[in-house]
Amino acid sequence: MDRWVALVGARGLTSSAACVVDCGTAVTVDALSADGEFLGGAVFPGLRLLRDSLVQGTAGIPATEGDATDCLARSTADGVAAGTLFGLAGAVERLIDEYRRTLGETTRVFLTGGDAPALAARLRAAHTPVPDLVLKGLARIADTL
């Protein structure tokens, strides 16, 4: 439901094609045509799930917070933090590139969700942070009732 409501919020911010990246427990990257049609999207684990899966599925990786500021990490904790953040940013950028190939280079990218600030710091693709995008979508829906 959050995916749909975030797209409604994005539509209220632009009449052009849009890509909504919602960075929460899961990361969703959804495409909206300039005509307002939902075209689909991708869903994959968010930062916490990625990090937790490494701790749970790999022997010897402790459940400690690391520093993700540099991808040349010198400790395991920093390597997990950097690897998951830089990897997530790379996956999101790949999807944005694919969507822009399909929808056009003027596709607007909106970034929302709890981990959006961490991801925004690593994205090269132009984007607009909208921390309350789901609430904006709910307000648009409420206005139609």
Q: What is the pLDDT of residues 103-135, one digit of tens each?
A: 998 999 999 999 999 999 999 999 999 999 999
Using the 8-state DSSP alphabet, how is residue 30 labeled? E
- Give me the CATH code for the 2-135 domain, please: 3.30.420.40
Whether residue 42 contacts residue 29, with contact meaning beta carbons closer than 8 Å, is answered with yes
pLDDT single digits (tens) 13-52 = 999 999 999 999 999 999 999 999 999 999 999 999 998 9
pTM, entire model:
0.91
Residue with tokens 């709890």: 114
The CA distance from 73 to 58, in Å, is 18
Run of H or E residues at 3:
helix 2-11
Residues involved in catalysis: 2
Q: Where are the domains of the chain?
A: 2-135
Q: Has residue 67 got a pLDDT over 90?
A: no
Give pLDDT, residue 110.
Answer: 98
pLDDT at 139: 95
Q: Over the stretch 73-95, which tens digit does the pLDDT of each residue have?
A: 888 888 999 999 999 999 999 99
Q: Are 78 and 109 in contact (CB under 8 A)?
A: no
Q: Which two tokens stand for residue 64?
A: 């400690």
Among 11, 121, 10, which residue's Cα sits nearest to residue 67?
A: 121
Cβ neighbours of 145 (radius 10 Å): 4
pLDDT at residue 1, rounded to an integer: 84
Measure the CA–CA gap between 139 and 9, rounded to whole angstroms.
Answer: 8
